[in-house]
Amino acid sequence: MKETIDILIERLGGLAPRIAIVLGSGLGRLANEVSKPVRIPYEDLPGFPRSGVTGHAGELVAGYFGSVPVIMLAGRAHYYEHGNAAAMRPALEVLAGIGIAAIVLTNAAGSLKAEMPAGSVMLVQDHINFSGMNPLIGEQAEARFVGMNEAYDRELREALERAAIKAGETLHKGVYMWFSGPSFETPAEIRMARILGADAVGMSTVPEVILARFLGLRVAACSVITNLAAGMAAGELSHEETKDMAPVGGEKLARVLRQFLTEEMPDV
Ligand code: HPA
């Protein structure tokens, strides 16, 4: 990843962000709020994913959010695209390699709680990896035995909660369960997920959390709820709905993240 690290450092021209934000489906417009943006298509960054999912741009945007230097990744790779759970590993290694210390992952998710409808935002407290897959399979280093006790950093979570209060936005809290996708869950799977302790379901984030912890990054994650999960509402789920609904919660999440970055973020 040395080559990509060098390319990125050169393109950043002295900008040295400590925090990065990964933007999920339909949340890419957050990157438009970055001032003095340096926009780098993933094609220019060897190892970065080529996402073929509509609603995912495939662009790194670096600059300032308020006075805080940040990197935003508009677009991620999903396990369901190629069957590679470690698809985001090179990108995360590059971020760690240029000095990123903390990462906020965002995603679109289905809700298992009627009181957390589409348009809500959920702070991920913990996750359930239901895919049977792990991005560190095959890794030889002893560090592969990553502790996941506090995968979602307490200080970052508390800061996001404070940010939400100050921004006047409701921030739900819950457990995110990773299903591989790309098909949506069945109603029976959603009933199972609820029994197992999930509050939201989605097709991303969990492998990135595992990789980020492996790389020593501090992690937080927020889900934007785009729908009630399968069987909870009339009609069929679709990616169109995900893309249409993501900006609703995305606006709320943007306000929370703005407050977080400019006022509440701990030293990382
Ligand atoms: N299930 C899985 N992933 C999702 C959903 C869902 O209901 N909504 C948005 N992403």
What's the pLDDT tens digit per position in 204-217? 999 999 999 999 99
pTM of full prediction above 0.85: yes
Ligand 1 interacting residues, C-beta cut-off 6 A: 108-110, 179, 184-185, 201-203, 226-227, 229, 237, 242
pLDDT-based confidence at residue 195 (cuts at 50, 70, 90): very high
- Dihedral sign of CA atoms 258, 251, 205, 129 in order: positive
- Condensed to tens digits (0 to 9), the pLDDT of residues 16-52 reads 999 999 998 778 888 998 999 999 999 999 999 986 6
Is residue 172 annotated as part of the catalytic site, yes or no?
no
Q: Which of 78, 131, 203, 224 to mutate to test the pocket of ligand 1 (most atoms within 8 A of CB)?
A: 203
* Alpha carbon nearest to ligand 1 atom 6, residue: 110
pLDDT-based confidence at residue 145 (cuts at 50, 70, 90): very high
Per domain, the residue ranges of the chain are 2-264
- Condensed to tens digits (0 to 9), the pLDDT of residues 176-191 reads 999 999 999 999 999 9
pLDDT-based confidence at residue 256 (cuts at 50, 70, 90): very high
Q: Are 131 and 85 in contact (CB under 8 A)?
A: yes
**What's the mean pLDDT in 75-93?**
95
Is residue 127 annotated as part of the catalytic site, yes or no?
no
Is residue 245 annotated as part of the catalytic site, yes or no?
no
Q: Are 55 and 239 in contact (CB under 8 A)?
A: yes
Tell whether the model's pLDDT for residue 79 goes beyond 90.
Answer: yes
- What are the DSSP E strand ranges found in the chain? 19-23, 35-41, 59-65, 68-74, 102-111, 121-129, 172-178, 200-202, 218-228
User: What is the predicted pLDDT for the residue at 56?
Assistant: 62
Is residue 80 annotated as part of the catalytic site, yes or no?
yes
Q: Kindly report the CATH class assigned to 2-264.
A: alpha beta
> 230 vs 25, 128, 239, CA distance in Å?
18, 18, 13
Residue 264: name the closest of 148, 174, 151, 171 by CA: 171
* Alpha carbon nearest to ligand 1 atom 9, residue: 109
